[in-house]
Protein backbone atom coordinates (compact mmCIF):
# COMPACT_ATOMS: atom_id res chain seq x y z
CA UNK A 1 0.00 0.00 0.00
CA UNK A 2 1.07 3.58 -0.66
CA UNK A 3 0.68 6.32 1.91
CA UNK A 4 0.22 9.84 0.55
CA UNK A 5 2.11 12.39 2.58
CA UNK A 6 -0.90 14.66 2.97
CA UNK A 7 -4.45 13.30 2.88
CA UNK A 8 -6.29 16.43 3.92
CA UNK A 9 -7.74 17.42 0.58
CA UNK A 10 -9.30 14.06 -0.20
CA UNK A 11 -9.84 12.29 3.09
CA UNK A 12 -10.37 14.88 5.80
CA UNK A 13 -11.49 18.12 4.21
CA UNK A 14 -13.86 16.04 2.06
CA UNK A 15 -14.25 17.11 -1.57
CA UNK A 16 -17.33 19.31 -1.98
CA UNK A 17 -20.42 17.65 -3.39
CA UNK A 18 -20.63 17.98 -7.17
CA UNK A 19 -24.20 18.40 -8.45
CA UNK A 20 -25.56 18.10 -11.97
CA UNK A 21 -25.64 21.89 -12.24
CA UNK A 22 -21.97 22.05 -11.23
CA UNK A 23 -20.96 19.51 -13.86
CA UNK A 24 -22.79 21.43 -16.55
CA UNK A 25 -20.76 24.54 -15.70
CA UNK A 26 -17.36 22.83 -15.53
CA UNK A 27 -14.66 23.51 -18.09
CA UNK A 28 -12.14 20.75 -18.80
CA UNK A 29 -8.39 21.43 -19.12
CA UNK A 30 -6.22 18.54 -20.36
CA UNK A 31 -3.02 17.52 -18.57
CA UNK A 32 -0.53 16.44 -21.22
CA UNK A 33 1.74 13.65 -19.98
CA UNK A 34 5.43 13.68 -20.70
CA UNK A 35 7.71 10.66 -20.91
CA UNK A 36 9.84 9.88 -17.85
CA UNK A 37 12.90 7.63 -17.49
CA UNK A 38 12.11 4.08 -16.42
CA UNK A 39 11.90 3.84 -12.65
CA UNK A 40 13.87 1.29 -10.57
CA UNK A 41 12.08 -1.58 -8.86
CA UNK A 42 10.57 -0.82 -5.49
CA UNK A 43 12.24 -2.52 -2.54
CA UNK A 44 10.37 -5.77 -1.83
CA UNK A 45 9.09 -6.51 1.63
CA UNK A 46 11.08 -9.05 3.57
CA UNK A 47 9.23 -12.40 3.93
CA UNK A 48 8.77 -11.98 7.68
CA UNK A 49 8.51 -8.20 7.81
CA UNK A 50 5.80 -7.08 10.22
CA UNK A 51 4.75 -10.58 11.28
CA UNK A 52 5.08 -9.73 14.96
CA UNK A 53 2.44 -7.02 14.49
CA UNK A 54 -0.29 -9.52 13.71
CA UNK A 55 -1.69 -9.47 17.26
CA UNK A 56 -0.99 -5.79 17.90
CA UNK A 57 -3.57 -2.98 17.79
CA UNK A 58 -3.45 0.42 16.20
CA UNK A 59 -3.67 2.94 19.05
CA UNK A 60 -3.95 6.70 19.51
CA UNK A 61 -4.61 9.31 22.17
CA UNK A 62 -8.20 8.67 23.28
CA UNK A 63 -9.18 12.33 23.71
CA UNK A 64 -8.52 13.04 20.02
CA UNK A 65 -11.41 10.91 18.77
CA UNK A 66 -11.54 9.37 15.31
CA UNK A 67 -10.63 12.43 13.23
CA UNK A 68 -7.34 13.65 14.67
CA UNK A 69 -6.07 17.22 14.30
CA UNK A 70 -2.48 17.85 13.20
CA UNK A 71 -0.57 17.23 16.42
CA UNK A 72 2.19 15.37 18.25
CA UNK A 73 1.31 12.79 20.90
CA UNK A 74 3.38 10.73 23.33
CA UNK A 75 2.94 6.99 23.94
CA UNK A 76 4.80 4.76 26.37
CA UNK A 77 4.81 1.31 27.93
CA UNK A 78 6.96 0.36 30.91
CA UNK A 79 7.97 -3.21 31.81
CA UNK A 80 10.30 -5.17 34.08
CA UNK A 81 13.13 -7.56 33.18
CA UNK A 82 14.53 -9.99 35.74
CA UNK A 83 17.96 -10.10 34.11
CA UNK A 84 19.94 -9.07 31.08
CA UNK A 85 18.06 -10.18 27.92
CA UNK A 86 19.79 -12.06 25.11
CA UNK A 87 17.82 -10.63 22.14
CA UNK A 88 15.25 -7.90 21.50
CA UNK A 89 13.45 -6.85 18.34
CA UNK A 90 11.13 -3.86 17.94
CA UNK A 91 8.67 -3.55 15.03
CA UNK A 92 6.50 -0.47 14.56
CA UNK A 93 4.67 1.83 12.19
CA UNK A 94 3.06 5.22 12.78
CA UNK A 95 0.71 7.25 10.63
CA UNK A 96 2.27 9.74 9.86
CA UNK A 97 5.70 10.08 11.57
CA UNK A 98 7.49 8.84 14.67
CA UNK A 99 10.60 8.97 16.81
CA UNK A 100 11.03 5.96 19.10
CA UNK A 101 13.04 5.72 22.33
CA UNK A 102 14.10 2.86 24.59
CA UNK A 103 14.97 3.96 28.12
CA UNK A 104 15.41 7.54 26.96
CA UNK A 105 17.75 6.71 24.07
CA UNK A 106 16.56 7.43 20.54
CA UNK A 107 16.38 4.22 18.52
CA UNK A 108 15.01 5.42 15.20
CA UNK A 109 12.62 7.53 13.15
CA UNK A 110 10.20 6.79 10.32
CA UNK A 111 7.33 8.09 8.20
CA UNK A 112 6.13 5.16 6.03
CA UNK A 113 3.36 3.40 7.95
CA UNK A 114 2.67 1.02 5.05
CA UNK A 115 6.08 -0.62 5.59
CA UNK A 116 6.76 -1.37 9.30
CA UNK A 117 10.27 -0.60 10.55
CA UNK A 118 12.30 -3.06 12.62
CA UNK A 119 15.11 -2.35 15.10
CA UNK A 120 17.49 -4.45 17.16
CA UNK A 121 17.17 -2.82 20.58
CA UNK A 122 19.06 -5.30 22.75
CA UNK A 123 21.80 -2.82 23.67
CA UNK A 124 19.25 -0.36 25.09
CA UNK A 125 17.57 -2.75 27.56
CA UNK A 126 18.58 -3.36 31.17
CA UNK A 127 17.64 -5.53 34.16
CA UNK A 128 14.84 -3.93 36.15
CA UNK A 129 12.48 -1.25 34.90
CA UNK A 130 12.46 -0.38 31.18
CA UNK A 131 10.28 1.82 28.99
CA UNK A 132 9.52 2.09 25.30
CA UNK A 133 8.38 5.58 24.28
CA UNK A 134 7.04 6.77 20.93
CA UNK A 135 6.67 10.38 19.87
CA UNK A 136 4.01 10.21 17.12
CA UNK A 137 3.12 13.04 14.77
CA UNK A 138 -0.11 13.32 12.80
CA UNK A 139 0.72 15.42 9.75
CA UNK A 140 -1.39 17.35 7.24
CA UNK A 141 -3.16 20.67 7.72
CA UNK A 142 -6.57 19.34 8.79
CA UNK A 143 -8.00 16.51 10.93
CA UNK A 144 -7.44 13.01 9.54
CA UNK A 145 -6.96 9.40 10.75
CA UNK A 146 -3.89 8.74 12.92
CA UNK A 147 -2.47 5.66 14.62
CA UNK A 148 0.54 3.81 15.96
CA UNK A 149 1.17 0.07 16.02
CA UNK A 150 4.16 -1.68 17.59
CA UNK A 151 5.49 -4.95 18.96
CA UNK A 152 8.56 -5.53 21.13
CA UNK A 153 9.78 -9.13 21.49
CA UNK A 154 12.42 -9.68 24.19
CA UNK A 155 14.26 -12.98 24.73
CA UNK A 156 14.83 -13.01 28.49
CA UNK A 157 17.73 -14.51 30.39
CA UNK A 158 15.77 -17.69 31.13
CA UNK A 159 15.01 -18.20 27.43
CA UNK A 160 11.36 -17.15 27.64
CA UNK A 161 10.03 -14.48 25.29
CA UNK A 162 8.33 -11.36 26.59
CA UNK A 163 6.11 -9.74 23.94
CA UNK A 164 4.67 -6.25 24.35
CA UNK A 165 2.18 -5.18 21.69
CA UNK A 166 0.31 -1.91 21.38
CA UNK A 167 -3.12 -2.07 23.02
CA UNK A 168 -5.11 -0.27 25.69
CA UNK A 169 -2.41 -1.04 28.32
CA UNK A 170 -0.21 1.61 26.72
CA UNK A 171 -0.34 5.17 28.08
CA UNK A 172 -0.64 8.36 26.05
CA UNK A 173 -0.36 12.10 26.63
CA UNK A 174 -0.74 15.28 24.65
CA UNK A 175 1.60 17.38 26.81
CA UNK A 176 4.15 15.06 28.43
CA UNK A 177 6.57 16.33 31.05
CA UNK A 178 10.28 16.66 30.34
CA UNK A 179 12.04 13.31 30.43
CA UNK A 180 8.89 11.37 29.58
CA UNK A 181 10.96 8.91 27.53
CA UNK A 182 12.86 7.74 30.63
CA UNK A 183 11.90 4.51 32.50
CA UNK A 184 11.81 6.20 35.91
CA UNK A 185 8.98 8.54 34.89
CA UNK A 186 5.78 7.94 36.87
CA UNK A 187 3.13 7.57 34.16
CA UNK A 188 0.36 6.40 36.50
CA UNK A 189 -1.53 9.62 35.82
CA UNK A 190 -1.42 9.22 32.06
CA UNK A 191 -4.67 8.10 30.41
CA UNK A 192 -4.84 4.77 28.61
CA UNK A 193 -4.41 4.86 24.85
CA UNK A 194 -7.45 4.05 22.71
CA UNK A 195 -7.25 0.76 20.77
CA UNK A 196 -8.55 1.53 17.26
CA UNK A 197 -8.46 -1.97 15.79
CA UNK A 198 -6.25 -4.93 14.98
CA UNK A 199 -3.20 -4.60 12.76
CA UNK A 200 -4.69 -4.70 9.26
CA UNK A 201 -7.87 -2.76 10.10
CA UNK A 202 -9.12 0.14 8.01
CA UNK A 203 -8.09 2.74 7.02
CA UNK A 204 -4.59 1.24 7.06
CA UNK A 205 -5.54 -1.95 5.27
CA UNK A 206 -6.97 -5.37 5.95
CA UNK A 207 -4.62 -8.12 7.04
CA UNK A 208 -6.66 -11.31 6.51
CA UNK A 209 -4.38 -14.22 5.70
CA UNK A 210 -1.76 -11.93 4.21
CA UNK A 211 0.14 -9.00 5.66
CA UNK A 212 -0.59 -5.62 4.16
CA UNK A 213 2.92 -5.09 2.84
CA UNK A 214 3.71 -3.77 -0.61
CA UNK A 215 4.81 -6.37 -3.17
CA UNK A 216 7.69 -5.81 -5.54
CA UNK A 217 6.49 -3.33 -8.19
CA UNK A 218 8.13 -0.91 -10.57
CA UNK A 219 7.03 2.66 -9.90
CA UNK A 220 5.30 4.40 -12.81
CA UNK A 221 4.66 8.04 -11.81
CA UNK A 222 2.63 10.44 -13.91
CA UNK A 223 4.05 13.82 -14.82
CA UNK A 224 2.39 16.28 -17.16
CA UNK A 225 1.65 19.90 -17.94
CA UNK A 226 -1.66 21.76 -17.83
CA UNK A 227 -2.02 25.24 -19.29
CA UNK A 228 -4.41 27.16 -17.05
CA UNK A 229 -5.95 30.39 -18.40
CA UNK A 230 -5.94 33.34 -16.03
CA UNK A 231 -9.73 33.57 -15.97
CA UNK A 232 -9.90 30.06 -14.47
CA UNK A 233 -8.30 31.41 -11.30
CA UNK A 234 -10.49 34.44 -10.78
CA UNK A 235 -12.10 34.98 -7.39
CA UNK A 236 -14.66 32.35 -6.56
CA UNK A 237 -13.60 29.78 -9.14
CA UNK A 238 -12.32 26.37 -8.08
CA UNK A 239 -10.09 24.04 -10.06
CA UNK A 240 -10.16 20.30 -9.39
CA UNK A 241 -7.65 17.65 -10.38
CA UNK A 242 -9.50 14.53 -11.57
CA UNK A 243 -8.14 11.16 -12.62
CA UNK A 244 -9.23 7.90 -14.13
CA UNK A 245 -8.70 4.55 -12.42
CA UNK A 246 -5.62 4.23 -10.21
CA UNK A 247 -3.94 0.81 -10.30
CA UNK A 248 -2.45 -1.30 -8.77
CA UNK A 249 -3.15 0.85 -5.71
CA UNK A 250 -6.03 3.31 -5.33
CA UNK A 251 -3.77 5.92 -3.76
CA UNK A 252 -1.39 8.60 -4.94
CA UNK A 253 0.62 11.55 -3.75
CA UNK A 254 0.08 14.72 -5.79
CA UNK A 255 2.46 17.62 -6.32
CA UNK A 256 1.77 20.75 -8.36
CA UNK A 257 4.68 22.94 -9.45
CA UNK A 258 6.88 21.09 -6.97
CA UNK A 259 4.56 21.79 -4.02
CA UNK A 260 2.72 19.14 -2.04
CA UNK A 261 -0.96 19.28 -3.04
CA UNK A 262 -2.27 16.35 -1.00
CA UNK A 263 -3.23 12.91 -2.18
CA UNK A 264 -5.79 10.19 -2.70
CA UNK A 265 -6.38 7.15 -0.47
CA UNK A 266 -9.53 5.95 -2.23
CA UNK A 267 -12.29 7.16 -4.52
CA UNK A 268 -13.30 9.81 -5.39
CA UNK A 269 -10.05 10.66 -7.18
CA UNK A 270 -10.71 14.38 -6.98
CA UNK A 271 -8.54 17.08 -5.42
CA UNK A 272 -9.03 20.85 -5.14
CA UNK A 273 -5.75 22.37 -6.38
CA UNK A 274 -6.92 25.96 -6.83
CA UNK A 275 -4.58 27.41 -4.21
CA UNK A 276 -1.35 26.23 -5.83
CA UNK A 277 -2.07 26.70 -9.51
CA UNK A 278 -0.80 29.68 -11.48
CA UNK A 279 -1.84 31.19 -14.81
CA UNK A 280 0.00 29.49 -17.66
CA UNK A 281 1.83 26.17 -17.56
CA UNK A 282 1.61 24.05 -14.40
CA UNK A 283 3.62 20.88 -13.75
CA UNK A 284 1.54 18.09 -12.17
CA UNK A 285 2.95 14.85 -10.76
CA UNK A 286 1.21 11.80 -9.26
CA UNK A 287 3.17 8.93 -7.72
CA UNK A 288 3.94 6.08 -7.36
CA UNK A 289 1.58 4.89 -10.15
CA UNK A 290 0.04 6.72 -13.10
CA UNK A 291 -3.74 6.79 -13.57
CA UNK A 292 -5.34 6.10 -16.93
CA UNK A 293 -6.09 9.79 -17.45
CA UNK A 294 -5.53 13.10 -15.65
CA UNK A 295 -7.32 16.39 -16.24
CA UNK A 296 -8.37 19.63 -14.55
CA UNK A 297 -11.96 20.80 -14.22
CA UNK A 298 -12.74 24.47 -13.61
CA UNK A 299 -15.88 25.20 -11.59
CA UNK A 300 -16.85 28.89 -11.88
CA UNK A 301 -18.70 30.68 -9.07
CA UNK A 302 -22.36 29.77 -8.72
CA UNK A 303 -24.68 32.23 -10.44
CA UNK A 304 -26.05 34.82 -8.02
CA UNK A 305 -29.62 33.75 -8.77
CA UNK A 306 -28.87 30.24 -7.57
CA UNK A 307 -27.16 31.22 -4.34
CA UNK A 308 -30.44 31.64 -2.45
CA UNK A 309 -31.36 28.02 -3.17
CA UNK A 310 -28.22 26.36 -1.86
CA UNK A 311 -30.00 25.19 1.29
CA UNK A 312 -32.59 23.31 -0.77
CA UNK A 313 -32.05 19.61 -1.55
CA UNK A 314 -29.89 19.32 -4.64
CA UNK A 315 -30.90 16.99 -7.49
CA UNK A 316 -28.94 13.78 -7.85
CA UNK A 317 -26.27 13.93 -10.54
CA UNK A 318 -27.27 12.33 -13.84
CA UNK A 319 -25.52 9.13 -14.99
CA UNK A 320 -23.73 11.12 -17.70
CA UNK A 321 -22.53 13.69 -15.19
CA UNK A 322 -21.37 11.03 -12.75
CA UNK A 323 -19.51 9.16 -15.47
CA UNK A 324 -17.66 12.34 -16.44
CA UNK A 325 -16.32 12.52 -12.88
CA UNK A 326 -15.26 8.90 -12.74
CA UNK A 327 -18.22 7.60 -10.74
CA UNK A 328 -20.03 4.35 -11.64
CA UNK A 329 -23.40 4.62 -13.36
CA UNK A 330 -26.06 3.02 -11.13
CA UNK A 331 -29.12 1.29 -12.58
CA UNK A 332 -32.60 2.48 -11.74
CA UNK A 333 -33.05 1.55 -8.04
CA UNK A 334 -35.95 -0.51 -6.73
CA UNK A 335 -35.53 1.26 -3.38
CA UNK A 336 -34.75 4.83 -2.46
CA UNK A 337 -32.40 5.61 0.40
CA UNK A 338 -31.24 8.43 2.61
CA UNK A 339 -28.85 8.65 5.54
CA UNK A 340 -27.78 10.85 8.43
CA UNK A 341 -24.60 11.79 6.54
CA UNK A 342 -22.56 10.78 3.52
CA UNK A 343 -18.98 11.07 2.39
CA UNK A 344 -19.04 12.86 -1.02
CA UNK A 345 -19.11 10.33 -3.82
CA UNK A 346 -20.46 7.62 -1.48
CA UNK A 347 -24.13 8.62 -1.36
CA UNK A 348 -26.95 6.47 0.16
CA UNK A 349 -28.34 5.55 -3.27
CA UNK A 350 -25.15 3.57 -3.99
CA UNK A 351 -26.11 1.00 -1.33
CA UNK A 352 -29.42 0.17 -3.03
CA UNK A 353 -28.31 0.24 -6.67
CA UNK A 354 -27.72 -3.52 -6.97
CA UNK A 355 -24.00 -3.03 -7.62
CA UNK A 356 -21.77 -4.52 -4.86
CA UNK A 357 -18.81 -2.49 -6.16
CA UNK A 358 -20.43 0.78 -5.01
CA UNK A 359 -21.22 1.77 -1.45
CA UNK A 360 -22.47 4.36 1.02
CA UNK A 361 -20.00 5.78 3.54
CA UNK A 362 -21.04 7.84 6.54
CA UNK A 363 -19.08 10.98 7.38
CA UNK A 364 -16.08 10.61 9.69
CA UNK A 365 -17.66 12.83 12.37
CA UNK A 366 -21.04 11.04 12.36
CA UNK A 367 -20.65 8.83 15.43
CA UNK A 368 -24.15 7.30 15.35
CA UNK A 369 -25.09 7.17 11.67
CA UNK A 370 -28.38 5.86 10.37
CA UNK A 371 -29.39 4.49 6.98
CA UNK A 372 -32.98 4.51 5.79
CA UNK A 373 -34.64 2.71 2.88
CA UNK A 374 -38.07 3.52 1.46
CA UNK A 375 -40.37 1.36 -0.64
CA UNK A 376 -42.70 2.77 -3.26
CA UNK A 377 -45.73 1.77 -1.16
CA UNK A 378 -46.41 -0.01 2.16
CA UNK A 379 -46.12 -3.79 2.03
CA UNK A 380 -45.51 -6.70 4.44
CA UNK A 381 -41.78 -6.83 5.21
CA UNK A 382 -40.01 -9.58 7.17
CA UNK A 383 -36.35 -8.59 7.07
CA UNK A 384 -33.40 -6.96 5.38
CA UNK A 385 -30.05 -8.19 4.08
CA UNK A 386 -26.98 -6.01 4.60
CA UNK A 387 -23.44 -6.14 3.22
CA UNK A 388 -21.22 -4.08 5.52
CA UNK A 389 -17.65 -3.39 4.49
CA UNK A 390 -14.67 -3.49 6.90
CA UNK A 391 -16.60 -4.91 9.92
CA UNK A 392 -16.70 -1.62 11.83
CA UNK A 393 -20.17 -1.78 13.42
CA UNK A 394 -20.40 -3.05 16.99
CA UNK A 395 -24.10 -2.37 17.69
CA UNK A 396 -27.20 -1.69 15.59
CA UNK A 397 -30.96 -1.19 15.88
CA UNK A 398 -33.56 -1.60 13.13
CA UNK A 399 -36.87 0.27 13.17
CA UNK A 400 -39.91 0.20 10.89
CA UNK A 401 -42.31 3.09 10.27
CA UNK A 402 -45.90 2.27 11.24
CA UNK A 403 -48.70 4.79 11.72
CA UNK A 404 -46.20 7.64 11.40
CA UNK A 405 -44.09 6.32 14.28
CA UNK A 406 -40.84 4.36 14.41
CA UNK A 407 -41.09 0.92 16.04
CA UNK A 408 -38.04 -1.19 16.86
CA UNK A 409 -38.18 -4.59 15.14
CA UNK A 410 -34.66 -5.95 15.73
CA UNK A 411 -31.30 -5.16 17.30
CA UNK A 412 -27.87 -6.76 17.45
CA UNK A 413 -24.13 -6.32 17.53
CA UNK A 414 -21.95 -6.84 14.46
CA UNK A 415 -23.06 -6.78 10.83
CA UNK A 416 -20.44 -7.74 8.23
CA UNK A 417 -21.01 -9.30 4.81
CA UNK A 418 -24.28 -11.11 4.07
CA UNK A 419 -25.98 -10.16 7.33
CA UNK A 420 -29.62 -11.33 7.38
CA UNK A 421 -31.89 -9.53 9.83
CA UNK A 422 -35.32 -11.12 10.20
CA UNK A 423 -38.33 -10.15 12.30
CA UNK A 424 -42.08 -10.73 12.52
CA UNK A 425 -43.71 -9.35 9.35
CA UNK A 426 -44.77 -5.70 9.55
CA UNK A 427 -46.66 -3.50 7.09
CA UNK A 428 -44.32 -0.61 6.31
CA UNK A 429 -42.80 1.49 3.57
CA UNK A 430 -39.70 2.62 5.51
CA UNK A 431 -36.94 0.94 7.51
CA UNK A 432 -34.17 2.70 9.43
CA UNK A 433 -30.93 1.02 10.54
CA UNK A 434 -29.13 2.95 13.29
CA UNK A 435 -25.46 2.06 13.74
CA UNK A 436 -23.42 2.75 16.86
CA UNK A 437 -20.10 1.94 18.49
CA UNK A 438 -18.49 1.90 15.05
CA UNK A 439 -14.77 2.32 14.50
CA UNK A 440 -14.25 5.08 11.91
CA UNK A 441 -16.93 5.68 9.27
CA UNK A 442 -19.53 3.05 8.39
CA UNK A 443 -19.68 1.57 4.88
CA UNK A 444 -22.61 -0.37 3.39
CA UNK A 445 -22.28 -1.77 -0.13
CA UNK A 446 -25.69 -3.44 -0.41
CA UNK A 447 -29.00 -3.20 1.47
CA UNK A 448 -31.95 -5.35 0.35
CA UNK A 449 -35.48 -5.53 1.78
CA UNK A 450 -37.02 -8.99 2.25
CA UNK A 451 -40.78 -9.05 1.70
CA UNK A 452 -42.89 -11.37 3.84
CA UNK A 453 -43.20 -14.78 2.20
CA UNK A 454 -39.90 -14.54 0.27
pLDDT at 208: 31
Distance set, CA 14 to CA 11, 286, 371 (Å): 6, 19, 20
pLDDT number for residue 140:
63
Is 123 in contact with 102 (CB distance < 8 Å)?
A: no
Length of the chain, in residues: 454
Confidence of residue 223 (pLDDT cuts 50, 70, 90): very high
What is the reported pLDDT for 198? 84
Residue predicted with more confidence, 372 or 258: 372
Three-point CA angle 171, 12, 341, nearest 5°: 105
What per-residue confidence (pLDDT) applies to 309? 31
- pLDDT of 249 reads 62
Residues 6+ apart with CB under 8 A from 405: none
Decide if pLDDT at 367 tops 90. Answer: no
pLDDT of amino acid 25: 67
* Residue 35 or residue 245, greater confidence: 35
Split at pLDDT 50, 70, 90, the class of 141 is low
Residue 332 has what pLDDT? 39
Q: 8-42+216-307 has which fold?
A: Jelly Rolls (2.60.120)
Whether the Cβ atoms of residue 314 and residue 236 lie closer than 8 Å to each other = no
- CA–CA distance, 152 with 90 (Å, rounded to integer): 4
Q: Over the stretch 154-190, which tens digit does the pLDDT of each residue have?
A: 999 898 999 999 999 999 999 898 999 999 999 999 9
pLDDT of residue 245: 76
What is the per-residue pLDDT for 191?
A: 94
Question: What dihedral angle (degrees, nearest 10) is formed by the CA atoms of 7, 9, 15, 16?
Answer: 150
Mean pLDDT of 365-392: 87
Rounded to an integer, the average pLDDT of 269-284 is 88
Which residues does 372 contact at the CB level (< 8 Å), separation at least 6?
A: 337, 338, 339, 348, 430, 431, 432, 433
N-term to C-term CA, the chain: 42
Is the pLDDT assigned to residue 258 strictly greater than 60? Answer: yes
Dihedral sign from CA coordinates of 155, 157, 159, 161: negative
- Given a contact cutoff of 8 angstroms between Cβ atoms, the answer to whether 243 and 286 are in contact is yes
Top-confidence residue, 129 or 326: 129
pLDDT digits (tens, 9 = 90+) for 61-111: 999 887 788 889 999 999 999 999 999 999 998 887 899 999 999 999 887
- Rounded Cα distance, 35 and 258, in Å: 17
Q: Which residue has the higher pLDDT, 79 or 350?
A: 79
**Please, which pLDDT band fits residue 209 given cuts at 50, 70 and 90?**
very low
Residues of the chain with CATH 2.60.120.260: 51-198, 330-451
Task: Please name the residue ranges forming H helices in 246-318.
Answer: 304-307
pLDDT of amino acid 252: 75
Percentage of residues in the chain with pLDDT exceeding 70?
Answer: 75
Q: Percentage of the chain surpassing pLDDT 90?
A: 38
Neighbours of 249 (CB within 10 A): 15
Cut 0.85: pTM above it: no
Whether the CA torsion 243, 249, 255, 261 is positive or negative: it is positive
Measured in whole angstroms, how far is the alpha carbon of residue 172 from the centre of its chain? 22
Task: Pick 51-198's CATH classification: 2.60.120.260, 3.40.50.2300, 1.10.3720.10, 3.90.870.40.
Answer: 2.60.120.260
pLDDT for the residue numbered 250? 61
Is the bond leading into 126 cis (omega within 30 degrees of zero)?
no
Average model confidence (pLDDT) across the chain = 78
Name the residue with higher pLDDT: 45 or 250: 250
CATH of 330-451, one of 3.90.1150.10, 3.30.70.330, 1.10.8.100, 2.60.120.260: 2.60.120.260
What pLDDT is stored for residue 266 in this prediction? 53
Amino acid sequence: MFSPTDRAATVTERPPRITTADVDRMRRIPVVRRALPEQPDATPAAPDQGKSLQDAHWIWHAADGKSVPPCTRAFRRSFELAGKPTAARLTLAVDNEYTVFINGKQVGQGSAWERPDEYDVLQHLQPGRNAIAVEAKNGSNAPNPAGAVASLVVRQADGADLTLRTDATWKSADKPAAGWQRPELDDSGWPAAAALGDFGCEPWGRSGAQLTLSPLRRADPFEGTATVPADALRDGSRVFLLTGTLKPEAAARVTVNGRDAGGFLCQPFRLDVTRILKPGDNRIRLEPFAPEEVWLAVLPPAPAAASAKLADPQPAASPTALASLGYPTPPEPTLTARASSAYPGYEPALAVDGDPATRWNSADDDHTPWFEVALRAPRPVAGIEVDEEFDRVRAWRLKAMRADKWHEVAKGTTLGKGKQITFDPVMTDRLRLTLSEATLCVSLSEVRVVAAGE
